Structure 1
């Protein structure tokens, strides 16, 4: 082996004096000299070219450009200096798109071998496997050796040639094989990953992205020569003939994909010229490839690349400035892809040389493009999720927080600011002439006018001090929540200044709105309620502000603050009773279930049944409002009867709900004063073939029990049947030690008032601890309501409380969701 290497380098050294000998540095296999070149003017044989051809180095550069003519290149090698010992060197070529390429090997004037390696020629299967263009040059030790290379075609370039000995040639082939195997495998894996992401996320326009990468793959195969690995010879030749058609389709696909990828931010605008006529540019280019020369097509394609580079970068930056975060990887991806394509075009135009670095530009940029889009798709899916959450919390017309935000997000916000703002005021504004606008101008115009007024109120609120901000996932600043089409609320953090704040809002509402050249004056009502004194939760607060709002009469002004007198207003009470009576009769009330948890191991041991009422006129009515009203009017008996029937029927239909858990059902203390109450409950239970041991009856202490036989009999019968009894909301209202005895209590539920104040109120801590100790002393199960944080839960565990429920653990949920939770 050492002798072969020595001979090879000796052979290289002996060429320094030869006039037409190709000179190559031992450390650099590339031939960097001007190669003697002959321009063919008429058909001629290789022997005639060898003997009669006038080779000139001066026309070498001409041969490397666009030309229809055929050129012959002459590489000369002196005879070897070792007698009776041959030497073989290997000529390698990196450029693979020459249409016709022939090699002729001569010893002296005798033709030894001939090879066809043109892109449009058949190679006759004379290679065991395709590993590039390799021409073995066997040197003679008797005569000089000459290799003639004939090039003809519309594609420019041919050189550089590279020379290797046997060992280096094999190493180079293996190196290229490994390189391209790695490149192809990486491209396929990354593309497969992005296809998988598309299947999961259904990204719009992905078919364009897939098509583009197929085009990139084909282009790589042609430019680098491995197309003969993956395509038949006929397909490979068709691709060469239509190379710029394929490139043009790839550019058009890139254009279309960019439009789809940026569709969500309306870039480019549907009205823009590029959106309307962009496709025409690519159609014109594709037609030009059929009408003009390859050189013209290459020039037009270079212009198309530059156009795409600037337009895609411009679109990407514009989308990013609009808040479309996923576009940062889009920019990264297309920047590298298009730069790689442009640099590859510069090779085609001879501006850049062909070497290992420039060969690698396009495949590496393609890999970076695929990798970047994997991140772009992930970013876009996250943004979709953020947008979906944002849409669920915002009003589509004004982008203000909506009703869902009020009930789902605002409680957490209020809980966080409650320690710093001991009192707040909810201000409800109802624009009451919406129907008039509808009738006068139509619903579309009415919606637009109302939205405009609401936005004006919002702008005024933004300028006002002492108004609570409502943060959204997109970090926008909002101070107004749109509950319904005509109803909005804001929250004052300075209730002592509420009069001045409402006056500023009234100025906006009192300003006429120009609608179809008519100055339209809005009619409105404003109601307010204080938090937490007039509503400890948002349901109650909203309801009381609504009561104040509805109490407004235009003769007395546009604003009314909530008072206890308004709550007891007879007309309101009568309307509520009427609706409740009707809905109970038609069984329109329903129930949710709030899971109860064993605090020691966080396992679900059952759930509390909570009655709910949504009225078509009143909307969602809080149980804290209608249950006391039902007790006052005697509707509580029908309500309890309806609730028991619905719960038992559901439990019968879904036995899994009681397989290892229990259900707690709330009744009123007044129910136990009915003589036949226990019998009715037991009869309903038996009709549904249920076991009483799976149910706990919770009694809300809304009245004082009298020590009478009716209560004792009902309690005794319920216990005998297997029911457990619990006292609900213990510690407030009419709680007394007497009730613990009268009810023969199995469970005691500590009211959430004490639980929610555990962290900040030492008195609440003392009372909770004492109530839990009382339960332990009487062998009663202790249950804590209103657990809102992990800190509260840990305090309860330290006090050895057994059972807990609250928003920190689980929110009330529909029966179906409760079943899913158990599953």
Structure 2
């Protein structure tokens, strides 16, 4: 129904526009005009006939804050046949407009018809600005027109006889009715369309059309027909504010319409700061003159025309076919808007055709955007089907393709080789680009993802030239040789397993290509695993699993690539068994802890101890923390393990309060624990429940790379400090610990890793580093703790450097809590001779 109505509306508009432009006499020649210097009454202006000149007419048609008078004189000799005429004005935004009709020197009538004048009571039915001219048959008739305002003082007059006036008055409401009804019906239709499709930009679209309706009402004159007097006058005063809002809404609508194809790019300057152009313009409309605002809006129109056309063409080039109607709609709207602006600047005259350009452009825009959204919905559905199989950033097959479509492709491949029962020999190669997390922390997730896409596309370009790799057909009729299985994992399938070593060497060479991120050349780190089909995986699921096992088994000592073997499978099975047993024993609370005493190296007195988690499994026996702690972190068991350890330590400390008398206990936690939002709160509640003092506990943290710019970690650290806990960086100097974390964690202790301590007597570099770390602790007023003291010589050297606290087998070995209590109860003398050591 709507399309039929729109078509009929356009036919009606066409018929209206193809009427003769002038039904009577158009006053196109300059009219006698003069500029008012001092306020004059109509009678005074009539008496100053010599001031009216045709030369001043041109000046009176532009932007001006001056007041101008026009004079139309009708001689009595021209009135023999008819003496009733109407003067029609086709421009409706002059703020103050007065018409004075004189017969001779007698004022017959006065009409106020300015946009800001109150003239609603002067007419029962509003159909435009019509001034009835009843001419005198025995003396000259003069019409004086006084106009003043900040907008262009355009006065395109038409003089019509009674018959033509009737026809013209019938034409005007029809013209307005067609515009309003077309806008409203199209808008209503699109509301239902958008409610069903729920496309981005929906609200912007509705707001745009509301603004267009308001702007059209002022431009074409029907604002007094549909709006109250106060609303009409506000629109006139803020006309360029309304225009500016409409332009900004159109900008935001365009951004949302093209959002799916990343036009403009999220990081582009226009995407990030484009809104400010409109904000500045909107503010300027309240501070600057109307003429300046008009000039600024003209520049915005040019700006919008350039960028939106560029975006549309670019989107079409990327295959976004829905943009065809968007470009069509945009072209008509902006051209109509620009032509309408040219009327303001007197480049185009005002007549029934030119005043209809913008309304027709708006109607075409509405209709085209409706088609554009329908086209977009259709394309989105098509894209959605493709997106299920395609990774959008790279255009490569994705995980779903591997598990759903690749088996079908392999089956077809077998038939094409006439091998319905004999599977071809293949090799699955999986590549894990492992530094995505480091890139995210260094440059942000967006740039890290961009770097990933760049290296993957580079690999794809290089491997496209290789023979012996399986090609994957996609729904868009393209062939790819890489599947992107996750953000940082890609895989290839070799059809020549005998050449896999050469192929992987080529891939490794390609991976050594450096990526430019923030003007920094960044070389990627990676792991590669492979598995053979069908010997090491009879289906794609098993093949993928075994290739993952191989990839995850890669270590620095093994190089970047490992093929799957039975030994790797056994190691993987062992890890799974460990995880299963660890899960059960954490649930059963079967893990326990030992304590290794810590000694004040100045007095050699025991000042506390470090809590060390232990695991003795019924089936596995004693398992080293170095083996099960990393597994717990990888599988998420670390959170339950930390909770269990804290509960057991606090419960024991509550039962043996004298163990903390002038002593401290240090508890190791994982850095991952601090990434839980409620970690500090839970620890505080737990220690309160056991009625313990947080001041007697130190929390030690290792692997602090996750701390950089992490608000959750910083909040947990702040809460732990406020509660009274001390914090220490464990194993300082190795792994991911950094100087920055000394500040970020508000560190109370710095534990020097045993890697440096154990080689102090033989390694000069370790001596330099260790001594500097001790000096750094002094400078920062934090406690230095040396781990791994294994000999008296090392102990003496640390004392000479004024290290404050030490622990190690030369002092005390880790012991059970009961033995630790017994040691404290012995009241042993300070460690001065080897006989004092336990």
- What is the TM-score normalised by the length of structure 2? 0.55
| Equivalent in the alignment of 1:122 | 118
Q: Describe the SS at the equivalent of 1:209.
A: helix
| Equivalent in the alignment of 1:716 | none
Preserved contact between residue 427 and residue 500 of structure 2 (Cα < 8 Å): no
Q: CA deviation at 1:488?
A: 6.0
Write the distance in 1 (CA, Å) between the matches of 2:345 and 2:249.
Answer: 24
| Equivalent in the alignment of 1:111 | 107
Q: Describe the SS at the equivalent of 2:86.
A: strand
Q: CA deviation at 1:133?
A: 0.9
| Equivalent in the alignment of 1:623 | none
Write the distance in 2 (CA, Å) between the matches of 1:76 and 1:415.
Answer: 95
Q: Describe the SS at the equivalent of 1:355.
A: coil
Q: CA deviation at 1:184?
A: 1.5
Preserved contact between residue 86 and residue 138 of structure 1 (Cα < 8 Å): no
- Residue 532 of structure 2 is aligned with which of 522, 528, 532? 528
The verdict on how the C-alpha distance between 1:348 and 1:375 changes in structure 2, with shifts beyond 3 A counting, is: same
The alignment status of 1:60 with 2:57, answered yes or no, reads: yes
Q: Describe the SS at the equivalent of 1:125.
A: helix
| Equivalent in the alignment of 2:472 | 470
- Residue 479 of structure 1 is aligned with which of 478, 481, 492? 481
1:26-63 deviation line (CA, Å, top 9, x unaligned): 87631222222243333333334334422322222122
Write the distance in 1 (CA, Å) between the matches of 2:437 and 2:300.
Answer: 54
Write the distance in 1 (CA, Å) between the matches of 2:355 and 2:407.
Answer: 61
The correspondence of residues 19-418 of structure 1 with structure 2, limited to 5 A, is 29-54=25-50, 55-67=52-64, 68-79=66-77, 87-395=83-391, 399-414=395-410
Q: CA deviation at 1:95?
A: 0.4
Write the distance in 2 (CA, Å) between the matches of 1:285 and 1:381.
Answer: 34
Preserved contact between residue 547 and residue 564 of structure 2 (Cα < 8 Å): yes
Write the distance in 2 (CA, Å) between the matches of 1:204 and 1:507.
Answer: 44
| Equivalent in the alignment of 1:821 | none
Write the distance in 2 (CA, Å) between the matches of 1:432 and 1:144.
Answer: 96
Q: Describe the SS at the equivalent of 2:121.
A: coil
Preserved contact between residue 336 and residue 358 of structure 2 (Cα < 8 Å): yes
Write the distance in 2 (CA, Å) between the matches of 1:214 and 1:436.
Answer: 46
Write the distance in 2 (CA, Å) between the matches of 1:544 and 1:59.
Answer: 91
Q: Describe the SS at the equivalent of 1:356.
A: coil
The verdict on how the C-alpha distance between 1:260 and 1:486 changes in structure 2, with shifts beyond 3 A counting, is: closer
Preserved contact between residue 470 and residue 477 of structure 1 (Cα < 8 Å): yes
Q: Describe the SS at the equivalent of 1:340.
A: helix
1:147-190 deviation line (CA, Å, top 9, x unaligned): 22222222324332112222322222222222221122222222
Preserved contact between residue 255 and residue 263 of structure 2 (Cα < 8 Å): yes
Preserved contact between residue 89 and residue 129 of structure 2 (Cα < 8 Å): yes
Write the distance in 1 (CA, Å) between the matches of 2:176 and 2:386.
Answer: 46
1:496-517 deviation line (CA, Å, top 9, x unaligned): x553466323542488859999
Q: CA deviation at 1:476?
A: 4.7
Write the distance in 2 (CA, Å) between the matches of 1:192 and 1:162.
Answer: 36
Preserved contact between residue 313 and residue 331 of structure 1 (Cα < 8 Å): yes
The verdict on how the C-alpha distance between 1:219 and 1:463 changes in structure 2, with shifts beyond 3 A counting, is: same
1:519-544 deviation line (CA, Å, top 9, x unaligned): 9997655333379xx97x86799899
| Equivalent in the alignment of 1:614 | none
Stretches of structure 1 lacking an aligned partner (at least 5 in a row): 1-23, 579-823
After superposing the two structures, state which structure 1 stretch, 25-34 or 187-196, moved more.
25-34
Write the distance in 2 (CA, Å) between the matches of 1:143 and 1:434.
Answer: 99
1:413-449 deviation line (CA, Å, top 9, x unaligned): 45666654334444322469979999xx999999999
Q: CA deviation at 1:353?
A: 0.6
Write the distance in 2 (CA, Å) between the matches of 1:196 and 1:301.
Answer: 32
Q: CA deviation at 1:275?
A: 4.1
The verdict on how the C-alpha distance between 1:456 and 1:71 changes in structure 2, with shifts beyond 3 A counting, is: closer
Preserved contact between residue 330 and residue 373 of structure 1 (Cα < 8 Å): yes
Q: CA deviation at 1:135?
A: 1.6
Q: Describe the SS at the equivalent of 1:332.
A: helix
Q: CA deviation at 1:119?
A: 0.8
Write the distance in 1 (CA, Å) between the matches of 2:430 and 2:21.
Answer: 89
Q: CA deviation at 1:94?
A: 0.3
Preserved contact between residue 179 and residue 359 of structure 2 (Cα < 8 Å): yes
Preserved contact between residue 431 and residue 522 of structure 1 (Cα < 8 Å): yes
- What is the TM-score normalised by the length of structure 1? 0.56
Preserved contact between residue 157 and residue 348 of structure 1 (Cα < 8 Å): no
The alignment status of 1:427 with 2:427, answered yes or no, reads: yes
Write the distance in 2 (CA, Å) between the matches of 1:468 and 1:200.
Answer: 42
The verdict on how the C-alpha distance between 1:290 and 1:136 changes in structure 2, with shifts beyond 3 A counting, is: same
Preserved contact between residue 38 and residue 53 of structure 1 (Cα < 8 Å): no
Preserved contact between residue 497 and residue 532 of structure 2 (Cα < 8 Å): no
Write the distance in 2 (CA, Å) between the matches of 1:180 and 1:81.
Answer: 34
Write the distance in 1 (CA, Å) between the matches of 2:97 and 2:522.
Answer: 82
Q: CA deviation at 1:343?
A: 1.4
Write the distance in 2 (CA, Å) between the matches of 1:179 and 1:529.
Answer: 75
Q: Describe the SS at the equivalent of 1:409.
A: helix
Preserved contact between residue 72 and residue 150 of structure 1 (Cα < 8 Å): yes
| Equivalent in the alignment of 1:505 | 504
The verdict on how the C-alpha distance between 1:179 and 1:464 changes in structure 2, with shifts beyond 3 A counting, is: same
The verdict on how the C-alpha distance between 1:40 and 1:558 changes in structure 2, with shifts beyond 3 A counting, is: closer
Write the distance in 2 (CA, Å) between the matches of 1:289 and 1:437.
Answer: 48
Stretches of structure 2 lacking an aligned partner (at least 5 in a row): 1-19, 515-519, 578-838
Preserved contact between residue 103 and residue 116 of structure 1 (Cα < 8 Å): yes
Preserved contact between residue 76 and residue 138 of structure 2 (Cα < 8 Å): no
Write the distance in 2 (CA, Å) between the matches of 1:206 and 1:432.
Answer: 41
Q: CA deviation at 1:363?
A: 0.9
1:64-122 deviation line (CA, Å, top 9, x unaligned): 2223123132242535665xx86422221100111121222233333333221111111
1:675-702 deviation line (CA, Å, top 9, x unaligned): xxxxxxxxxxxxxxxxxxxxxxxxxxxx
Write the distance in 2 (CA, Å) between the matches of 1:435 and 1:164.
Answer: 81
Q: CA deviation at 1:213?
A: 2.3
Q: Describe the SS at the equivalent of 1:103.
A: strand
1:303-345 deviation line (CA, Å, top 9, x unaligned): 2322222233333334444444444433333332222222111
Preserved contact between residue 116 and residue 123 of structure 1 (Cα < 8 Å): yes
1:369-394 deviation line (CA, Å, top 9, x unaligned): 22222233233334443443344324
Q: CA deviation at 1:218?
A: 1.3
| Equivalent in the alignment of 1:615 | none
The verdict on how the C-alpha distance between 1:140 and 1:392 changes in structure 2, with shifts beyond 3 A counting, is: same
Write the distance in 2 (CA, Å) between the matches of 1:209 and 1:307.
Answer: 20
